[in-house]
Structure 1
Amino acid sequence: MTVADVITAVLLPAGAVFCLLGALGLLRFPDVVSRLHAAAKAQTLGLMLILVGTAVQMPLRYAPVLLLVVLFQLLTAPITSQIVGRTAYRVQVLDRGALFRDELADRLARDGTPVDERPPREDADR
């Protein structure tokens, strides 16, 4: 067994475990913010580990393609999480009382578009 085989044998299952844990987090976590962390962080790390484990076994000419996939994932996952989190905040499915600091409420009030202080919906957990 070569060093490349050992690296691949470690990184591919580790990446698969992170992807599995991210998927379980999406199913099991109780609120939007927790689910965003599972979707963005665990899935991104899992994909990166799998791609690095794959890159070790591939010819060097394929490295730029794998690097582009990693960069695309690193750019899109935080942006998507930001949009989903802000949408959850605005439609009030986010428990604002659980936030340590609510910077978005101050910014929206300064911009003239405050969020209504309606109580959260009953089906917010679903």
Structure 2
Amino acid sequence: MTLVIDILSWALLLGGAVFGIIGGIGILRMPDFYTRMHAASITDTAGMTLMMAGLILQSGFTLVTAKLVFIMVFLMITSPTATHALARAALHDGVEPLLDHDKREGGGS
């Protein structure tokens, strides 16, 4: 049974790492601020959830598990909230989203 839990735990940890790498690539490849922020926030939340689930499986039923659950819930609330606040602040500051017709007409490739 412990081998199955270890394999599942490592699969979740590796899945979380893959989401982190995809988020980093998304930040580099996306054309404007809002799509970059979207790529980072979605993969951040998904990667964190998978990594925390893997760590919870590794720790078993201990006080560490309770702490990891509290951390995961806290991050699942604060990460999207911070992303929303950042997007609203950018929009309020005048950062305009890049629209599809802007790419076609705006002298891009």
TM-score (norm 1): 0.70
Q: Which has the higher helix share?
A: 2
For 1:54, the aligned partner's letter is L
Unaligned runs of 5+ in 1: 100-126
TM-score, scaled relative to structure 2: 0.80
Contact 2:23/2:44, CA 8 A, preserved across alignment? yes
1:12, CA displacement in angstroms?
1.1
Could you list the runs of 4 or more consecutive aligned residues of structure 1 that deviate by over 4 angstroms after TM superposition? none
Match of 1:81 in 2: 83
Task: Report the alpha carbon displacement of residue 95 of structure 1 after superposing the two structures with TM.
Answer: 2.4
- In 2, the alpha carbon distance for the partners of 1:10 and 1:95 equals 36
Alignment check: 8 A CA contact 2:34 2:97 kept: no
Deviations 1:47-77 (CA, angstroms, capped at 9, x unpaired):
1111111111113112111111111111111
Count of residues in Structure 1 that have an aligned counterpart in Structure 2? 98
Higher relative contact order (CA 8 A, sep 6+): 2
Q: Which ranges of structure 2 fall in alignment gaps of 5 or more residues? A: 101-109
Cα shift at 1:85: 0.7
- Say which one has the larger Rg: 1
CA distance in 2 between counterparts of 1:24 and 1:72 reads 26
Counterpart of 1:93 in structure 2 is 95
Identity %: 31
The residue identity in structure 1 corresponding to 2:21 is L
RMSD: 1.8
Rounded to whole Å, the distance in 2 between the matches of 1:39 and 1:73 is 14
